[in-house]
C-alpha cells in the first residue's frame, strides 16, 4: 500500500482540499486563522504550504472570523463552508458564541482550535486550564455542547476516522452544524505514514430523503380536510433549493404563505399569496390568517417562539400542525403531524398527491391594507424629528437594486426588517435571528460578500452591535471586499429598552444617557470607521441618507454611513404577543399592571392540542 509521510496538520489540509460539493468545488473554501501558540507551528505551516489551493484569511477576532465563515455558508445555502483555526486558550473560547450561532441556525463550519500537549510533558502550558478532578479536560470542552460533532485529536491516525465524520456532519442536511476538531499541538506536528487512498477526491452529495409513505398519507389527509391552511416557510426552503416548488405548490392549491426570518425571500414579496413575516415581528395580514388557520403547514422551520408568538398566535380551536422537516427532532415538535423529508421532494410529493385540492382564498384586500401600512411607516419623516428605524429602512430599500443583499442580526432592526423589507429574489435577505447575536452583522456582511462578490451587500447595524464587534470592517478593506454599512445610532440598546418599558419597568442601564456614567458618551462612529480604512460619513436626515447611499453604491471600498435615530419609536402595525415573564411581586404599580396583562395573555397559549 502506497503511503505519504506527512504531519497530522499537513494530512488534515490535504484531505480537506479534495472534499468536493456537487458542483465539483472544494466544500471548504478556505480557512480563517489567528495564529497563536497551539496552532502556529503545526497548522500554520500546513496552511502556508497549501497556499492558494486552500487560502488562509487573517481576521481580527476569533468570534467574528467564525461569524464570517458561517455567513458565507448561509449565503450559499450550505453548499460550501469554511474552516477557522485558533490558539489553545482565549482564542479557542472565543469560538463558543459563534459555534452556538452555527448550531442554532443549522449551518456548517469546521472549527480547528489548538489544544494542550497530548504527551503532557510540558504541562501546564501557557493558557492551559487545569481541572483538579479531570486531567483530560481543556478549555475546548466548552465547545462540546455547541458542536454537532466534537473530537479531540490525540494521535495523528485518529484523523482517518474523525475527518470523514466531520464532513458527514457538515454535509448532512439533518445533522448540519458546527464541527470541532480540537488539535493537540504536539500531534499537529507529529508525522505519520498516511495511506494514499485517504487523499482520493470525494464528492459529498446533498442527501434528499423521500417522505415516508404513511406520514405522507397522513399529511395529505390533513390538508384535504383543511379549509383555511397557512404555510410557514422556514430556512429549510432555501437550503433545499425549494423556492420554485413552494411557489408552484402555493399557486396550485391557493394556500397563502408566511415567512420566518430564515425563510424570508423564499417567495417574492409582491406575490399575491405571500402574506409576509409571521409571528412577533410579523405582518398584520400573515398573523391575522395564522390566528384563523385550521392547518398550519410548517416547512423547514424549527418553530422558534418568535414564529409562533410563544404558541399563542394560532387561535383556531380546530387548528392542527403539520411539520415538514428533514430533521425528525424539528418535525415532531408540539405533537405535530410529522412529515420527515427533504423540503423540495416532499413538497413535490404532496403536490402530486393533493391533485386539484384548493383552499379558500385569503380575504380580499388583506395584503393591500398591509402594503399601505408599510408605505406609511417607511416614508420620509415630517419635520425635523429624529427618524425611526422604519424610515431608515425605507430609504435604504429605495436606494438598492432588487438583487442587493441586506444583512442584519440583533436588536430592533431585525423585527422592523422582517415586517417591512421587500425581498424580491431568493437569498437577498440575510438576517441571523436564530441566535440573535449582537456583533454578527459586519463580520456576517463580509462573509456574504465573499460568497456573493457580484452583489451589493448592505449591513444594517445599531450602535450597540457596532460597538460589540466592528473589527472585520478593517478586514473587508484589507481584502478589497466592499460592503456598505449603515449605522443607526440611537445611543444605546434601544430595542431592549423598549421591551423594558413595555414590561412595566423604568428605563434602566440600556440607553447611554441614562446609564451610570461620569463623562457623557460621545462616540464618533464615522471617525472610527475611517480609522479602519473605510470611506465614512454622517448624515442628518433621510434625504441625506439617500444621497449617501448613492455615493456608497459608487464607492470603491467599504463605505459606512452613520445616522442618528429615535430610540423609542418602532412600528406599531403588525406583530404578536411574546412571552416575556413579568415579576409576580413588585412595589411598582406599572409592573403589577403589566403582570395582570401578562396573565391574560397566557390564557391564549396552546402548548398542547
Whole-number pLDDT of residue 608 = 63
Q: Considering the domain boundaries, does residue 399 fall inside one?
A: yes
Rounded Cα–Cα distance for residues 569 and 13 (Å): 51
Cβ-contact 570, 388 below 8 angstroms: yes
Q: Are residues 311 and 389 in the same domain?
A: no
Q: Are residues 313 and 343 in the same domain?
A: yes
Torsion, CA 48, CA 49, CA 54, CA 57, rounded to 10: 10
Q: Considering the domain boundaries, does residue 519 fall inside one?
A: yes
Reported as a single tens digit per residue, the pLDDT across 50-86 is 999 999 999 999 999 999 999 999 999 999 999 999 9
Give the residues across from 85 on adjacent strands. 33, 112
What is the grid cell recorded at 603? 390564557
Q: Are residues 54 and 183 in the same domain?
A: yes
Q: Are residues 80 and 171 in the same domain?
A: yes
Q: Are residues 485 and 549 in the same domain?
A: yes
Rounded Cα–Cα distance for residues 561 and 503 (Å): 33
Reported as a single tens digit per residue, the pLDDT across 302-344 is 999 999 999 999 999 999 999 999 999 999 988 899 999 999 9
What is the grid cell recorded at 146? 455547541
**Residue-range definition of the domain harbouring residue 493:** 377-564
Q: Are residues 96 and 162 in the same domain?
A: yes
For cell 462540546, name the residue.
144
Rounded Cα–Cα distance for residues 15 and 201 (Å): 8
Whole-number pLDDT of residue 609 = 60
Its sign, for the CA torsion 15, 450, 431, 532, is positive
Q: Considering the domain boundaries, does residue 579 fall inside one?
A: no
Q: Are residues 121 and 252 in the same domain?
A: no
Rounded Cα–Cα distance for residues 310 and 319 (Å): 16
Q: Considering the domain boundaries, does residue 371 fall inside one?
A: no
Low-confidence ranges of the chain (pLDDT < 70): 383-384, 608-609
Whole-number pLDDT of residue 364 = 87
Q: Considering the domain boundaries, does residue 545 fall inside one?
A: yes
Question: Where residue 533 sits, what CATH number does that domain have?
Answer: 3.40.50.970
Q: Are residues 273 and 299 in the same domain?
A: yes
Q: Are residues 88 and 230 in the same domain?
A: no
| Element at 369 (helix H, strand E) | helix 366-378
Question: Where residue 298 sits, what CATH number does that domain have?
Answer: 3.40.50.1220
Give the residues across from 573 on adjacent strands. none
Whole-number pLDDT of residue 384 = 65
Whole-number pLDDT of residue 154 = 98
Q: Considering the domain boundaries, does residue 128 fall inside one?
A: yes
Q: Which of 311, 334, 360 is the last residue of a domain?
A: 360
User: What is the Cα 316 distance to its own chain's centre?
Assistant: 31
Q: How many residues does the chain have?
A: 609
Cβ-contact 247, 346 below 8 angstroms: no
Q: Are residues 560 and 472 in the same domain?
A: yes
What is the grid cell recorded at 89? 486558550
Q: Are residues 150 and 276 in the same domain?
A: no
Neighbours of 123 (CB within 10 A): 11
Q: Which of 203, 236, 265 is the last residue of a domain?
A: 203
Whole-number pLDDT of residue 284 = 96
Whole-number pLDDT of residue 351 = 98
Q: Considering the domain boundaries, does residue 549 fall inside one?
A: yes
Q: Are residues 190 and 231 in the same domain?
A: no
How many structural domains comprise the chain? 3
Neighbours of 555 (CB within 10 A): 13
Maximal C-alpha separation, the chain: 80
Q: Considering the domain boundaries, does residue 411 fall inside one?
A: yes
Q: Which of 149, 184, 203 is the last residue of a domain?
A: 203
Strand duo 320-325 + 337-340: pairing: parallel
Amino acid at each position: 500500500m502506497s503511503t505519504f509521510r506527512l504531519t497530522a496538520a499537513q494530512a488534515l489540509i490535504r484531505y480537506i482540499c479534495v472534499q468536493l460539493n456537487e458542483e465539483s468545488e472544494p466544500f471548504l473554501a478556505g480557512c480563517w486563522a489567528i495564529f497563536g501558540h497551539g496552532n502556529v507551528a503545526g497548522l500554520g505551516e500546513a496552511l502556508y504550504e497549501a497556499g492558494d489551493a486552500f487560502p488562509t484569511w487573517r481576521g481580527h477576532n476569533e468570534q467574528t472570523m467564525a461569524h464570517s465563515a458561517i455567513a458565507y455558508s448561509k449565503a450559499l445555502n450550505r453548499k460550501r463552508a469554511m474552516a477557522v483555526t485558533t490558539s489553545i486558550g482565549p482564542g479557542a473560547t472565543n469560538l463558543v458564541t459563534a459555534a452556538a450561532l452555527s448550531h442554532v441556525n443549522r449551518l456548517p463550519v469546521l472549527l480547528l482550535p489548538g489544544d494542550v500537549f497530548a504527551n503532557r510533558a510540558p504541562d501546564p502550558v501557557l493558557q492551559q486550564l487545569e481541572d483538579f478532578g479531570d486531567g483530560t479536560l481543556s478549555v475546548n470542552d466548552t465547545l462540546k455542547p455547541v458542536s454537532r460533532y466534537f473530537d479531540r485529536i490525540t494521535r495523528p491516525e485518529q484523523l482517518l476516522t474523525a475527518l470523514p465524520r466531520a464532513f458527514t456532519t457538515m454535509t448532512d442536511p439533518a445533522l448540519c452544524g458546527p464541527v470541532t476538531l480540537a488539535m493537540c499541538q504536539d500531534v499537529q506536528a507529529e508525522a505519520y505514514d498516511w495511506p494514499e487512498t485517504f487523499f482520493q477526491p470525494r464528492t459529498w452529495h446533498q442527501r434528499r430523503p423521500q417522505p415516508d409513505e404513511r406520514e405522507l398519507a397522513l399529511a395529505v389527509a390533513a390538508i384535504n380536510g383543511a379549509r383555511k391552511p397557512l404555510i410557514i416557510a422556514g430556512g429549510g426552503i432555501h437550503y433545499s433549493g425549494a423556492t420554485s416548488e413552494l411557489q408552484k405548490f402555493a399557486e396550485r392549491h391557493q394556500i397563502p404563505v408566511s415567512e420566518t426570518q430564515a425563510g424570508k425571500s423564499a417567495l417574492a414579496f409582491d406575490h399575491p399569496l405571500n402574506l409576509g413575516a409571521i409571528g412577533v415581528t410579523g405582518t398584520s395580514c400573515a398573523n391575522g390568517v395564522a390566528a384563523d388557520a385550521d392547518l398550519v403547514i410548517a416547512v423547514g422551520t424549527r418553530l422558534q417562539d418568535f414564529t409562533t408568538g410563544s404558541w399563542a398566535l394560532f387561535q383556531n380551536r380546530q387548528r392542527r400542525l403539520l411539520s415538514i422537516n428533514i430533521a425528525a427532532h424539528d418535525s415532531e415538535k408540539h405533537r405535530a403531524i410529522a412529515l420527515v423529508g427533504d423540503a423540495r421532494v416532499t413538497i413535490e410529493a404532496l403536490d402530486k398527491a393533493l391533485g386539484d385540492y384548493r383552499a379558500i382564498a385569503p380575504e380580499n384586500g388583506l395584503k393591500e391594507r398591509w402594503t399601505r401600512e408599510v408605505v406609511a411607516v417607511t416614508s420620509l419623516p415630517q419635520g425635523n424629528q429624529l427618524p425611526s428605524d422604519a424610515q431608515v429602512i425605507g430609504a435604504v430599500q429605495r436606494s438598492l437594486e432588487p438583487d442587493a443583499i441586506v444583512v442584519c442580526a440583533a436588536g430592533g432592526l431585525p423585527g422592523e426588517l422582517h415586517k417591512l423589507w421587500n425581498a424580491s429574489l431568493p437569498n437577498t435577505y440575510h438576517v441571523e435571528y436564530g441566535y440573535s447575536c449582537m456583533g454578527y452583522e459586519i463580520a456576517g456582511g463580509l462573509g456574504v460578500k465573499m460568497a456573493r462578490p457580484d452583489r451589493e451587500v448592505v449591513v444594517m447595524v445599531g450602535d450597540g452591535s457596532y460597538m460589540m464587534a466592528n473589527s472585520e470592517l478593517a478586514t473587508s478593506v484589507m481584502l478589497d471586499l466592499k460592503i456598505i454599512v449603515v449605522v443607526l445610532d440611537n445611543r444605546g440598546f434601544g430595542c431592549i429598552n423598549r421591551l423594558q418599558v413595555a414590561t412595566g419597568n423604568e428605563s434602566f442601564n440600556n440607553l447611554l444617557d441614562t446609564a451610570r456614567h461620569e463623562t457623557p458618551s460621545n462616540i464618533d462612529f464615522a471617525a472610527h470607521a475611517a480609522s479602519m480604512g473605510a470611506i465614512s460619513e454622517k448624515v442628518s436626515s433621510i434625504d441625506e441618507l439617500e444621497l449617501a447611499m448613492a455615493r456608497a453604491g459608487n464607492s470603491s471600498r467599504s463605505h459606512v454611513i452613520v445616522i442618528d435615530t429615535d430610540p423609542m419609536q418602532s412600528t406599531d402595525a403588525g406583530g404578536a404577543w411574546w412571552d416575556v415573564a413579568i415579576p409576580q411581586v413588585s412595589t411598582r404599580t406599572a409592573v403589577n399592571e403589566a403582570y395582570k396583562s401578562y396573565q391574560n395573555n397566557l390564557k391564549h397559549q396552546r402548548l398542547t392540542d
